Amino acid sequence: MNRTVILHAHLFKNAGTTIDWILMQNFGSNFYDHRDNMAIRGGQEYLDSFFAKHPKLQALSSHHLPLPLSSFRSCDTIKLIMLRHPIERVLSVYNFERKQPASLSKGSEAASHLDLKDYVDWRLNDTNRQVISNYHVRCLIGAVGKKTLVDSDFERACDYLSSDFLYGVVDEFDKSLQLIAHKLRIVFPNFKAQYIKKNYSETNLITLKDKLNKLKGQLGSELYGQLLQANEYDLKLYDIYKKELFRSYSKANMRPESLEIVPGHSVFSSISNAFKLLHNKIKDQYE
C-alpha cells in the first residue's frame, strides 16, 4: 500500500503561508516547502522521482506546483488548494508587491511608484495581467501564460477542482480548515487544525463586502468593471465552490468554532523565527 503525500498548491496571496505553517506543525521535518521552482517545473516525472527519493515525506508545498497532475507511481496524493475572492485578492497582491524591493520584479517596481488605481490599470494592460486576471482558473489548468481563456478552460478547471482537490475559501477560513482537517484525518488521524495567521494585516478585520465596496470606490466604476470582466471565470469559480463549501459543512454536521490562536507580538515574532529556522533545517535534507 502506497503512503499518502499532501500536495499544497500554494497560490500567490491565497493564505498559503498559513496553510504551510499548519502542515509544518503537523508533519515537522516530513513537510517540505519546495522553493526550487525550476526543478519542480519538471512536472510529473520530477515529482515522482522526488517522492521516491524521500520516502518519509508526508506533505509538500509549492508556489509552482505543475498542475494539472495525474497519479504517481511512488505514492498516493491528496491535493490541497485555497480559493480567494479574485477582486479582494487584487488589493492583497498590490500591498504585497508594494512592500517588496522595487528591483525584485516588474510588479514590485510598478507598485513602488503607482497608487492602487494606476497599478490595477497597468496590470490589466500589461503582458503580466494574468496575475490579477482569472488567476485561479489559469493555475488549475496550467495556463498561467495563456493570453485569453475560453469556456472550455473554465469547465476543465471546475472538473479538476471537483475531482482531485481538497479546497478551502480564504474568507471562510475556519469552516474551510474544519472541513479539510475532517477529511485529512481519514488518512492522518492526528491532524491538528489550529493555526496562527501569517502575513496578517489590519485589513483582515474588515468584512469582504466592505473591502469590495472600498476597492470599487478607489478604482472608480469603469476600472472596477474592467477588473470584474477580467475575472469572469474566477468569480464564477469562487461562487460555485463557496456555495459547495457551505453545503459540505452543513452535510458534515459541523459546529462553527474558532481555530485561530492569537499570540502576543513577542510570541508571534518568536514563532515566525522558529518557522524560518525549521524551514532552513528541513531544506538541507531535501537538497
- The tens digit of pLDDT for each residue in 140-176 reads 999 988 889 999 999 999 999 999 999 999 999 999 9
Contact 126, 106 (CB under 8 A): yes
pLDDT given for residue 256 in this prediction = 76
Indicate the pairing of strand 31-34 with strand 165-169: unpaired
11-39 residues labelled b (16+ CB within 10 A) or e (exposed) = bebbbbbbbbbbbbbbbeebbbbbeeeee
Distances (CA, A) of 196 to 7, 179, 186, 262, 265: 21, 18, 24, 6, 12
pLDDT given for residue 194 in this prediction = 83
Mean pLDDT of the chain, nearest integer: 89
**Cα–Cα distance for residue pair 130/123, rounded to 1 Å:** 8
196-227 residues labelled b (16+ CB within 10 A) or e (exposed) = bbbeeeeeeeeeeeebbeebbeebeeebbebb
Residue 268's identity, in one-letter code, is F
Contact 133, 230 (CB under 8 A): yes
- Residue 100, CB half-sphere, CA atoms under 13 Å: how many? 16
Record the pTM: 0.88
Specify the fold of 4-285: Rossmann fold (3.40.50)
User: Which of 13, 11, 4, 21 shows the shortest CA–CA distance to 177?
Assistant: 21
Q: What are the φ/ψ torsions at residue 96 (nearest 5 degrees)?
A: -65, -50
What is the residue extent of each domain of the chain? Answer: 4-285
Instruction: Please report which confidence band the pLDDT of residue 266 belongs to, taking 50, 70 and 90 as the band edges.
Output: very low
pLDDT given for residue 283 in this prediction = 60
- The tens digit of pLDDT for each residue in 39-84 reads 998 899 999 999 999 999 999 999 999 999 999 999 999 999 999 9
C-alpha cell at 259: 481555530
pLDDT given for residue 265 in this prediction = 47
Instruction: Please report which confidence band the pLDDT of residue 276 belongs to, taking 50, 70 and 90 as the band edges.
Output: low
Within 8 A by CB and 6+ apart from 212, the residues are 85, 87, 88
pLDDT given for residue 106 in this prediction = 92
Within 8 A by CB and 6+ apart from 39, the residues are 46
